[in-house]
Each structure stands twice: as structure tokens, then as C-alpha cells.
């Protein structure tokens, strides 16, 4: 296994074997990133492929300042956002104003809330909620940055996050049999 800096250099020189190795090293981690933004695994694979194409096209712009994984992660996130903006999936959902109750299907789970279960709950969120939740809670963007990236207001970003959190909390409560105002002792 080549050191990362050598692998990058070989990729820049057009070595297909090095490109395959770099993809193999990064794809599992980046697929997890894509999966958080996509509604399903097939869409996540599409985002992953698009993101890697962009990464290889712009690899020369990576200056080695910070981990390569963080640089590639930003590419994947931006690729996902572009994809869903183009598909017009970044609409603002406002079920409360319409008097409708937002229903997110509860996935089937065992006893414990694992990372996979949480990912499934996040994927079940409406696209706008899911994107804002991921950008804020997982990627660490501020509401101002989210608003700029998604072309929404900061208030909308805050509202979408609050609604996403409420839906996730309700789903977790349902999974564990908690009533809305029931508190755990301990």
C-alpha cells in the first residue's frame, strides 16, 4: 500500500491503478457521507460516482493542507447538494401551516438504536429537512452557511432543523415506546 502523497502523485500522472487504489481507500467512508444525503443507496452511489469524478478532475487543486478525506468529503457534500438542487428537492416543507401531520415511516428495528438505525431514520426525513440536519448536525455548518448553500433564509434553515430534530425524536420515542411527555428516570 502506497503512502497517500505518493498515491496522489501517481493519480496526477494518470496512473489508473493508483486511481483505483485511492478510490478503494476512500469510497467506503465517502459512501457513508453520500448515504446521509441521498434518499436511498442507489442515489448515494450516483452521488459517490459524480463526486469521485469531480475529485479526480480537480485533484491537482488539493494542496495537502488538512486531510485528504476532509477535502473529498466537502466535494461529496457539494455534489449531493448540487444534485438535489437540480432535482428541485430542496423545497421548504411546511406541513404545520397546512394542518397536515408529517408522517415519516418508522423503520423496523431491534432493541438498540445503532448507527445504521439512525441513518435509516435520517434518510426517511423529507429532503429539505434531511439536508439541513446533515449540514448542521453532522457537517458542522452554521445556519448562515446553510442558507447560502441551499439558497434559503437562515430562519428557514433553523425551522427545517427544528422540524427534523422533532421528527427524529418522535421516531426514537416510538421505537422505545416513550409517550410524548414521558421522561426517563435515571
Between 181 and 48, whose confidence is greater?
48
Cell of 43: 442515489
- In total, the chain counts a number of residues equal to 186
Looking at residue 184, the DSSP 8-state letter turns out to be: -
Chain-centroid distance of CA 56 in Å reads 21
Looking at residue 105, the DSSP 8-state letter turns out to be: P
CA–CA distance, 7 with 119 (Å, rounded to integer): 32
Cell 434531511 identifies what position? 130
CATH of domain 95-176: 1.10.10.10
Cα dihedral across residues 164, 153, 142, 135: positive or negative? positive
| pLDDT of res. 83 | 85
Provide mean pLDDT across the span 118-134: 87
Question: Has this prediction a pTM greater than 0.75?
Answer: no
The alpha carbons of the chain give a radius of gyration, in whole angstroms, of: 19
37-96 pLDDT per residue, tens: 888 889 999 999 999 999 999 999 998 888 999 999 999 999 998 887 776 554 444 443
* Domain regions of the chain by residue span: 4-86, 95-176
CATH of domain 4-86: 1.10.1740.10
Amino acid at each position: 500500500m502506497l503512502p497517500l502523497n505518493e498515491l496522489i502523485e501517481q493519480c496526477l500522472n494518470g496512473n489508473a491503478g493508483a486511481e483505483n487504489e485511492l478510490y478503494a481507500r476512500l469510497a467506503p467512508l465517502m459512501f457513508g457521507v453520500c448515504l446521509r444525503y441521498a434518499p436511498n443507496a442507489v442515489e448515494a452511489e450516483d452521488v459517490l460516482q459524480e463526486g469521485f469524478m469531480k475529485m479526480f478532475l480537480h485533484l491537482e487543486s488539493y494542496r495537502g493542507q488538512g486531510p485528504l478525506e476532509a477535502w473529498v468529503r466537502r466535494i461529496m457534500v457539494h455534489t449531493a447538494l448540487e444534485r438535489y438542487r437540480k432535482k428541485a428537492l430542496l423545497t421548504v416543507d411546511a406541513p404545520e401551516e397546512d394542518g397536515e401531520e408529517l408522517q415519516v415511516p418508522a423503520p423496523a428495528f431491534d432493541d438498540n438504536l445503532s448507527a445504521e438505525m439512525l441513518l435509516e431514520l435520517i434518510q426517511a426525513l423529507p429532503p429539505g429537512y434531511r439536508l439541513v440536519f446533515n449540514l448542521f448536525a453532522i457537517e458542522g455548518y452554521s445556519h448562515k452557511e446553510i442558507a447560502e448553500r441551499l439558497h434559503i433564509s437562515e430562519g428557514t434553515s433553523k425551522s427545517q432543523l427544528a422540524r427534523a430534530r422533532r421528527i427524529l425524536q418522535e421516531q426514537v420515542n416510538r421505537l422505545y415506546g416513550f409517550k410524548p411527555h414521558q421522561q426517563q428516570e435515571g
